[in-house]
Structures are given as structure tokens and as C-alpha cells.
């Protein structure tokens, strides 16, 4: 796959913390219930921690009790899905469409009308709260 933003691993390492690099560039996963964005108050947007592209809004966020921030939809065109057969099971990995950063996975078990649960690592995203 090619992306609008292409950088070497060394360039990404210079820009990202080691923890963020592990998730966004090496598809690591943060421990459940430890992410800073699991519980968010207010209105705002969630952007890619690698390139700043808008991915989700607080209106799309819901409490799934799975241990990671969960969303029932994404900004149009912001996410690329690909098969992930690691950990001995089939899943759908989600990547930022602009920089290819690993965000998490999407599952077809969401409780809202979309039926989707975008399960995202807090370290993969930033939260921009709207000012009142």
C-alpha cells in the first residue's frame, strides 16, 4: 500500500514516542483499560497520532466496556481496512488512510445501528476538544 505521507521508520522514530511508534508503525496494542482516551468528556474530534487526519468525533464514540476507545463510525475516507490473521484468528485491522498508521481493529458487534465497533488504541490518536 502507498499513502499520502510516506516516511522511513527512522523518520517516524524521530517524531513519535517509543510507545506511539510501537502502536502506529509496528501494530502493537496498549494494555486494556490503560489508555488516556478511554473516557472523554465534552465534544471534539479524534485525529491520527501520526499525521493529524480527522478520524472520529465524540458523537461516534460509545462505551463498549472492551478496554479501548470505541467508535461506531469513522470520518468518510479516513480509514483503510485490511485482513489481520495474527493471534490465530481473523480480524480486520484499521489503518489511517493518510499515513498508514495502525489504529486498532473493527468488529461487527457494535450495539448501535451501524453494528460496528472501531476498537482504537488511545496512543494511536489525539483528542481535540471543541472550545465553547
Domain extents for the chain? 9-129
Helix (H, G, I), strand (E, B) or coil at 57: strand
> What is the block-wise mean pLDDT of the chain (132 residues), using blocks of 10 residues?
95 98 97 95 95 97 95 98 88 98 97 96 96 57
Output phi, psi for 34, to 5 deg.
Answer: -115, -15
Is residue 119 part of the annotated active site? The answer reads yes
Owner of C-alpha cell 478520524? 55
Check residue 56 and give its pLDDT: 98
pLDDT at 27: 96
Rounded distance, CA 22 to CA 8, Å?
14
Residues 95, 101 contacting (CB under 8 angstroms) = yes
Q: Look at residue 76 in the predicted model and tell me its pLDDT.
A: 97
CATH of region 9-129, choose from 3.40.640.10, 3.10.110.10, 2.130.10.10, 2.170.150.20: 2.170.150.20
pLDDT of residue 131: 61
Measure the CA–CA gap between 105 and 116, rounded to whole angstroms. 10
The model's pTM: 0.94
Amino acid at each position: 500500500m502507498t499513502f499520502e505521507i510516506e516516511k522511513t521508520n527512522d523518520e517516524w522514530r524521530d517524531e513519535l514516542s517509543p510507545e506511539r511508534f510501537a502502536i502506529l508503525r509496528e501494530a502493537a496494542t496498549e494494555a486494556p483499560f490503560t489508555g488516556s482516551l478511554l473516557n472523554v468528556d465534552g465534544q471534539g474530534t479524534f485525529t491520527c497520532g501520526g499525521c493529524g487526519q480527522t478520524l472520529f468525533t465524540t458523537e461516534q464514540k460509545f462505551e463498549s466496556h472492551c478496554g479501548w476507545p470505541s467508535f461506531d463510525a469513522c470520518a468518510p475516507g479516513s480509514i483503510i481496512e485490511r485482513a489481520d490473521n495474527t493471534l490465530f484468528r481473523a480480524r480486520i485491522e484499521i489503518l489511517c488512510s493518510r499515513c498508514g498508521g495502525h489504529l486498532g481493529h473493527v468488529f461487527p458487534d457494535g450495539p448501535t445501528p451501524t453494528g460496528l465497533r472501531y476498537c482504537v488504541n488511545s496512543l494511536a490518536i489525539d483528542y481535540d476538544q471543541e472550545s465553547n
